[in-house]
Amino acid sequence: MRLGLISDIHGNLLALEAVLAELEREELDQIVCLGDVVAGPRANESLARIRGLGCPVIMGNWDAWSVDGMPEPTGPTEEKLYDIGAYWAERLSADDRDLIRSFVPTLEFELAPETPLLCFHGSPNSFDHWIVATTPDEEVAAMLAGFDAPVLAGGHTHLQMLRRYSDALFVNPGSVGLPFDLWSPEDVRIAPRAEYAILTTSDGRLAIDLCRTSYDVGAHLRAGLESGMPHAEWWAASWQHQA
């Protein structure tokens, strides 16, 4: 079994196409999307591309907010991000919204006999839970309460990760369209790359590859700057220090 994991596309169609071009060469059995397809400059087209794959999709926080409304911001960075998210949400079609509502909160996938993979966005209990390499095990245990699998896959943090948790392996494929080099309430730094993961099971062995590829970041930034979305200059500057 060879499984591709993608997550956190955020309307970045160019990054998505770059990742899918690489995955097409990998002769995969299945692709799973861990959520947050929307909230970016080409959200409609990214949704259409995901629809065309026919792959299972997990409900991400931005996916849900795009159909149910943005939460209240708790600081200036969130205020900008929610303004941007609301702008793109208003441009979703009825078909786009129906597709998003079909996304599932969790998915269990059989990697191999006796080896299920549990997929979610933040955690199986909340798409907004934040699990990174340094999250204490006791906090992870609370977020995973009621769920168990030997392999766990989540997105949301935009940070690639492979960590051991108890007897399980936890993989985060990173973000296709918005990978973080830095995230804090005061600052966001976005890496000029696209990220994904490949899981391979064969003869009782499991291999997990965390992958990165390039795409035309400049073209993506121009699409955002020319789109009319709020805070476009601030958004683009998050990339421009590295592009």
Q: What is the pLDDT of residues 125-139, one digit of tens each?
A: 999 999 999 999 999
Instruction: Burial-class residue 207 by CB neighbours within 10 Å (0-12, 13-18, 19+).
Output: exposed
Number of domains in the chain: 1
Q: Report pLDDT for 243.
A: 40
Rounded mean pLDDT, 62-68: 98
Confidence of residue 112 (pLDDT cuts 50, 70, 90): confident
Confidence of residue 186 (pLDDT cuts 50, 70, 90): low
Asked if 190 and 238 touch (Cβ cutoff 8 Å), the reply is: yes
User: Mean pLDDT score of the chain, rounded to an integer?
Assistant: 94
Instruction: List the domain range (segments joined by +) for residue 11.
Output: 2-240
Rounded mean pLDDT, 159-175: 97
Q: Report pLDDT for 114.
A: 85
User: Measuring CA to CA, how many Å separate 7 from each of 136, 146, 212, 222?
Assistant: 23, 23, 13, 23
End-to-end CA distance of the chain: 36
CA distance 76 to 144: 30
Q: Report pLDDT for 157.
A: 97
Q: Report pLDDT for 113.
A: 87
Res. 106: pLDDT tops 50: yes
Q: Report pLDDT for 185.
A: 61
Q: Report pLDDT for 28.
A: 97
The label of the residue with tokens 């200036």 reads 76
CATH code where residue 71 lies: 3.60.21.10
Rounded mean pLDDT, 89-108: 98
Asked if 171 and 63 touch (Cβ cutoff 8 Å), the reply is: no
Confidence of residue 184 (pLDDT cuts 50, 70, 90): low
Q: Report pLDDT for 242.
A: 46
